[in-house]
Amino acid sequence: MRTPVPDYLQEVLGGCTADGGAVADDVPELAAADPDRLAVALTTLDGVTYSAGDDDVLFTVQSISKPFAYALALQDRGLAAVLEVVGTEPSGDAFNEISLEPGTGRPRNPMINIGAITTHSLVGEPGLAGAARSERLRRGLSAFAGRELVVDEAVLESEMGTAHRNLALAHMVRSRGTVTEDPTVLVREYTRQCALLVDVRDLAVMAATLAHHGVNPVTGERVVGARVARQVLSVMATCGMYDAAGDWLSVVGIPAKSGVAGGILGALPGEVGIGTFSPRLDRFGNSTRGVRVCERLSEDMGLHLMGMAPAGLAVVREVGLVHDDGGGTAWRAVLQGPVTFSGGERVLRELARIGADGVDVVLDLTRVSQVDDVGRRMLLEGVRRLGLDGHAVSVVDPELMLVVEDVGTPGPAR
Ligand code: GLN
């Protein structure tokens, strides 16, 4: 058979005929885009990408670069240093609003332009600037996409011709000392970041890398630490869709980011990465049909952050006394699936039922797919306590789920 997933994506596109709004017209090169293009892609966390529609059309990433620049800044400078300069509160304002947080004077978040221009300056080692920093960004976004991305020089030049508002924003943060470099150079390099070319398949892989705790599921490369990916997804959830962010989170429920060229990127943690493309924008600056496609995917496929399936209830597959051929008896628990806090608690409750009669205990992890740090600590503590109670415990763990592997340390914010 052929998997029905591509057919389904095709059908979703077919159902999203009603378009509205207009192609962004403040940048001449963007205004020239074909408004009827429509595409969707979806990447699984084991690295398979499905797509439909105009999936090979390249467009500039624009504001969808912001969460990735934020990720690289967090990776390169650490969470505390970045938070000192850029906040995490939704602004409720338009993407290019001239606003700073009262009191702290920080840009409110890294998803609006004033925060993104500031975040751009935080990528790389302190002191890295200009072309070298832009190259760090290009390479970083390429690692998220799993292929070499290039800049659309025509869009860059075109946008620089009308970048008055972004220049005003950069001068504002410069005047407060939040950034110390030449605002004109900073805006040019930020605009270069926005002018990287992607297609919907790239967006889906980039999203899947965030959803997969920072590891690109196609290349296997760890691009940023899990804590960084979590921070980025959190800010996308609350600030990614600008002044439509509240509606978006309740209706679609997928952390997302839109771009003025018509792209939307959605990343559902632990589940899937999504990219859509359609150039006409609604009044919030989000792609009209892209929003509709995401609404349908969320609705049809149950892809909502607040509606995720319970993780721990099925973790104990079998439990009870077993007898071996030699007449021996052991108390055996067979576990399955992922073990996180709720699953770990379920297992510990079973282990707590074992009597104080010194019976041997077997904990079988053969069918366990994944154990997070908390699940691992909980299981090991159960084993330790059984040992203290005088039980001989054997753990069947062929995939070494309870062994902490050293995965290396990519940066300060892991
Ligand atoms: N390059 C655009 C800008 O800075 C990005 C805005 C967007 O995509 N919403 O204005």
* Most distant CA atoms of the chain, gap in Å: 85
Residue 404 lies in a domain: no
pLDDT digits (tens, 9 = 90+) for 303-328: 999 998 887 789 999 999 999 888 88
> Ligand 1: which atom is nearest the Cα of residue 242?
9
The pLDDT assigned to 405 comes to 64
Contacts 24+ apart (CB under 8 A), 384-392: 385/351, 386/351, 386/354, 386/361, 389/356, 390/356, 390/358, 391/354, 391/358, 391/359, 391/360, 391/361, 392/360, 392/361
Mean pLDDT of the chain: 93
Let me know if residue 33 belongs to a domain: yes
Question: Considering the domain boundaries, does residue 331 fall inside one?
Answer: yes
Residue 19 falls within a domain, yes or no?
yes
Residue reference for tokens 């600056």: 285
- Find where tokens 């410069």 sit: 174
Taking residues 222-245, what's their average pLDDT?
92
pTM: 0.91
The pLDDT score that the predictor gives to residue 406 is 56
User: What interhelical angle do 200-211 and 130-145 show, nearest 10?
Assistant: 80
Annotated catalytic residues are: 63, 66, 190, 242, 260
Is residue 166 lining ligand 1, measured as CB closer than 6 Å?
yes
Whether the predicted pLDDT of 414 surpasses 50: no
Tell me how crowded residue 76 is: count the other CB atoms within 10 A of its CB: 23
Q: How far apart are CA 191 and CA 372, in angstroms?
A: 39
CB atoms < 10 A from the CB of 88, how many?
18
Give the distance, in angstroms, between the CA of residue 279 and the centroid of all CA atoms in the same chain: 23
Boundary residue ending a domain (307, 330, 363): 307
Give the HSE-up count for residue 343: Cα atoms under 13 Å, Cβ half-sphere: 27
In this structure, are residues 278 and 38 in contact, taking their beta carbons and an 8 Å threshold?
yes
In terms of domains, do 240 and 274 share one? yes
What's the rounded Cα separation, in Å, for the pair 173 and 409? 33
Q: Are residues 25 and 166 in the same domain?
A: yes
With vertex at residue 44, the alpha carbon angle to CA 145 and CA 206, rounded to the nearest 5 degrees, is 20
Place of tokens 């609404």: 295
User: Do residues 173 and 115 both lie within one domain?
Assistant: yes
pLDDT for 357 equals: 83
- How many Å apart are CA 394 and CA 405, to the nearest integer? 20
Ligand 1 close to Cβ of residue 113 (< 6 A) = yes
Question: Could you report the per-residue pLDDT of 101-115, keeping only the tens digit for each?
Answer: 888 899 999 999 999
What DSSP element (H or E) covers 263? strand 263-268
Please give the structure tokens belonging to residue 21.
């709004």
CATH of the domain at 286: 3.40.710.10
Whether residue 247 is predicted with pLDDT greater than 70 in this model: the reply is yes
* Residues 237 and 329 both lie in one domain: no
pLDDT at 93 over 90: no
3-state secondary structure 310-349: CCCCCCEEEEEEEECCCCCEEEEEEEEEEECHHHHHHHHH
- Domain check: are 53 and 164 in the same one? yes
Question: Encoding tokens for residue 216?
Answer: 């690109």
Residue 18 binned pLDDT confidence (cut-offs 50, 70, 90): confident
Binding annotation for substrate: 63, 113, 159, 166, 190, 242, 260
Domain boundary at 260, 288, 307, which? 307
- Clarify whether residues 180 and 276 are in a common domain: yes
Q: Are 211 and 271 in contact (CB under 8 A)?
A: yes
Q: Do 148 and 136 belong together in one domain?
A: yes
The percentage of residues in the chain with a pLDDT greater than 90, rounded to a whole number, is 84
Cα 92 to averaged position of ligand 1 atoms, centre (Å): 17
| Strand ranges for 54-202 from DSSP E | 59-60, 197-198
237 with 325, same domain: the answer is no
Q: Does residue 412 form part of some domain?
A: no
Give dist(CA 286, CA 242) in Å, integer. 9
Residue 410 located in a structural domain: no
Give the pLDDT band of residue 92 (cuts 50, 70, 90).
confident
With a 6 Å cutoff on the Cβ, whether 285 touches ligand 1 is yes
Asked if residue 315 and residue 303 are part of one domain, the reply reads no
- Residue 269: is its pLDDT beyond 50? yes
> Is there a single domain that holds both residue 178 and residue 264?
yes
Three-state SS at 92: coil
Does 407 reside within a domain? no
Domain assignment of residue 405, yes or no: no
Are both 251 and 322 inside the same structural domain? no
pLDDT band with cut points at 50, 70 and 90 for residue 246: confident
Residue nearest to atom 2 of ligand 1 (CA): 62
> What's the domain range around 370?
311-396
Residue range 360-409, pLDDT digits in tens: 999 999 999 999 999 999 999 999 999 999 999 999 999 999 987 655 55
Query: Residue 324 sits in a domain of what CATH number?
Result: 3.30.750.24
Measured from the CB, is residue 186 less than 6 Å from ligand 1?
A: no
Tell me what the mean pLDDT of segment 174-195 comes to: 96
Distance from the alpha carbon of residue 231 to the mean position of ligand 1, in angstroms: 22
- The count of structural domains within the chain is 2
Q: How many Å lie between the centroid of ligand 1 and the Cα of residue 62?
A: 5
Residues 381 and 274 placed together within one structural domain of the fold: no
* The token pair that represents 108 in the structure block: 């409110």
Residue 349: what are its φ and ψ, rounded to 5°?
-65, -40
Instruction: Give the helix, strand, coil percentages of the chain, each rounded to 5.
Output: 40, 20, 40
